[in-house]
Chain A
């Protein structure tokens, strides 16, 4: 059974490129973006169409991207370089400019490559790394203000307080709806919506009109609540509950998810920057640019931001909270090749989860299909082990 609203979302995603064409003919500009910390509220408030770019899973794009950026860069960055170089993706084609933030400095380098080789107009937003200090917030607020001024020039519009307040409200509601859907996927004893479907919905939001997207999300939440409790026989069994952590799993990158699903592993949660994380703790409380800057600084730390103090590393707290709230039995730590920010933390995460008595499997991979069987073997052994230990000794 497919949820009706989910079906509608899929249809809307199909239609979206044509809708954007119409909007562009009417004079609207499109801003593509890649990163983690671009405040879409500002883009939306200026009447610019925001689209989040980047694809995973396609080794062909990785090869194309490698002609411009290095083979020492993570495959997501290389594939995204390929996507921009090829210029066949409808959203890349329709983007009048592309914005990058410096959360991950490999993405910053991608921005430089995009500007030079692909001749795209680019915007950059600087992110402080000593994020916890007052002067870092001050710096980031100035960065956000400068970013806004440049977008104002780009759009030919001046941002109004009313438009900003409306956009902030819209995005706060989107975040809340996505958190609710995640909670349903993780908590419901017989879930109406699976994690994978929620993940698909999150990625649909990269492109859909944001007002329409919110309506879909709220309708979907309603449908899930109304359907909750009725028999749904197409959902996977919930015997081994898995939380996915680590590097970005971008749209199109289904290799690991497919393998886990086929092995009857049940992904119930994630702490990915391509998943739930951007929707946690990002509530903008003050309808100003400073309010936006503060909210984005308060979000869950992405792995790309180095945090030297374990006791204040919200990423670890978030992982622990995600495990507890979703009652995950194990964590699969997905690290993309040359994603140093995630790979270098592998040993620490293992130690951290060992202390929490949560089993962990690290999968280090890229977009080639050559390691499918190796990943399958390791994942199967992990799932079997977790299942056995769960059956014999309860939660590990």
Chain B
């Protein structure tokens, strides 16, 4: 008989500590008490999503074992309940819009929409059946991927393939409205492919002009594209987006980005990493806003206070070795399994893609469209590759990384094309080892051994 690996659970002795934290307050004034959160994470969550509490080594999406890192638990709560909240917001009339990348969220939220990523159809369909264990959820996820690929192409990356689920499944998606840029090769053509099929979802996109070498017209073009995008999003939500509304959203997201930058700075400067790789994911709160920037900002502030406290006390993130190999991750969307990295003696210190957006500080006075266009037009991640690599090398130095992994998923043409070039430049500028790893595991829950073997070998080399 095989040994049954017990599911992860938050110990009762943590509860009093957790209950001392603040209730979560959302943008519409809704309040979730700490008691409610605790109940969800210890009773309702494990019952509805047993797979999420799995601790088998082959499971790539494990919860952090750092049970005393309370903002980590709160972030997990936000993550695990996001579909419920999206469902509620949608029921109250908020349109769900599929986007790709982290170019800008402001137009979407200013227009009263919820922006979700391309795997939203998978997530939505997966959680329709609750109570699934790890194997059941994994198989269901693979079946959805297969269905999606059948309706798009076998050469699509996993993430974008899920768009094709929209062609034959009634899902609560009001529009597909991504930014077309160098971050993703498949989103543009995946969106086009959705124009046919039994179910047609309205689609429009913001064109991000990639040629930075031109003397004029680029920012103006982008500004008009942002205006058009915002207007169309307003049409979807039935709102007229005024300059003041966009400016307010810019201020709100600027605040989130500022806190993320502050968190990142103290995390990087700390003598010992204050969180493990899984909990070092606060950047995501700044870029996607947990679908509600009000609550995201609240959790980010708590995050800052908690890691600052840990740094002052010299607390090391749970599960980390005493001197872990610090890894900086490059590339879009996919990243190595944090739990595995920690176990093998490493720690993820940063990622370039969402972090690139977090470095953006949009001017808050004057024309908000122009301000946004100027800020967005100089995203480090979207700059010519040589410039992007120079910027990344600086981040690698600032994060005091020991090595760099450029990871891209099967089917990603634009990131894979420059992975070698970027790692070559980083190696030259920093003198650090850097490796490119192609994987096919995006959104997969298991069968990650190939990439894990390579990551493990890289960590061993660094150590």
Measuring CB to CB, which residues of chain A are less than 8 angstroms from any residue of chain B?
Answer: 68-74, 77, 102, 105-106, 108-110, 112-113, 115-117, 123-126, 128-130, 133, 135-136, 138-139, 141-143, 146-147, 149-150, 306-310, 337-338, 340-341, 343-348, 351
Contact = CB atoms under 8 A, between A and B. Distances in A.
A341 B189 contact: yes
B139 to A, nearest CB: 25
Which of B151, B195, B204 has the most C-beta atoms of chain A within 10 angstroms of its own C-beta? B195
Given A308-B203, A347-B193, A69 B417 contact: yes
Contact of B224 (A69, A124, A135, A348): A135
The 3 closest A-B pairs by CB, nearest first: A126-B211, A142-B217, A70-B416
B21 interface: no
Contact of B386 (A112, A125, A126): A112
Nearest to A351: B196
Which of A72, A106, A123 has the most C-beta atoms of chain B within 10 angstroms of its own C-beta? A72
Contact of A126 (B155, B190, B214, B411): B214
B213 interface: yes
A347 B168 CA distance: 14
A70 B152 contact: no
Given A70-B420, A72-B416, A340-B189, 6 more contacts: A105-B182, A106-B185, A126-B211, A133-B228, A306-B192, A351-B196
B245 to A, nearest CB: 22
Contacts of A308: 191-192, 195, 203-205
B9 interface: no
Nearest to B223: A135
Given A125-B211, A126-B209, A146-B216, A68 B420 contact: yes
Interface string B335-350: 0000000000000000
A347 B414 CA distance: 23
Given A128-B221, A139-B217, A340-B413, A102 B418 contact: no
B313 to A, nearest CB: 45
* Interface range on chain B (Cβ under 8 Å from partner): 35 or more
A123 B386 CA distance: 15
A133 B192 CA distance: 17
B196 A124 contact: no
Contact of A344 (B152, B204, B210): B152
B3 interface: no
Contacts of A351: 196
Contact of B410 (A68, A72, A340): A72
A115 to B, nearest CB: 7
Interface string B393-424: 00000000000000010111110111111000
B186 interface: yes
Interface of B: 151-153, 155-156, 180, 182, 185-186, 188-193, 195-196, 203-205, 207, 209-211, 213-218, 220-221, 224-225, 228, 384-386, 408, 410-414, 416-421, 425, 438
B204 A143 contact: no
Contacts of B185: 105-106, 340
A44 B303 CA distance: 60
A113 B417 contact: yes
Contacts of B207: 128-130, 136
Given A105-B185, A130-B207, A135-B224, A344 B417 contact: no
B456 to A, nearest CB: 23
Contacts of B152: 344, 347
Contacts of A70: 408, 413, 416-417, 419-420, 438
Given A70-B417, A106-B414, A138-B221, A143 B214 contact: yes
A353 to B, nearest CB: 13
A72 B188 contact: no
A73 B420 contact: no
Contact of B189 (A108, A115, A128, A345): A345
A116 B421 contact: yes
A130 B214 CA distance: 18
A203 B40 CA distance: 66
Contacts of A141: 217
A344 B228 CA distance: 26
A72 B189 contact: no
Contacts of A310: 195-196
B418 A113 contact: yes
22 contacts: A68-B421, A72-B410, A73-B417, A102-B210, A109-B418, A110-B417, A116-B385, A116-B386, A129-B205, A130-B207, A136-B221, A139-B209, A143-B214, A147-B214, A308-B191, A308-B192, A308-B204, A310-B196, A337-B155, A344-B153, A348-B196, A351-B196
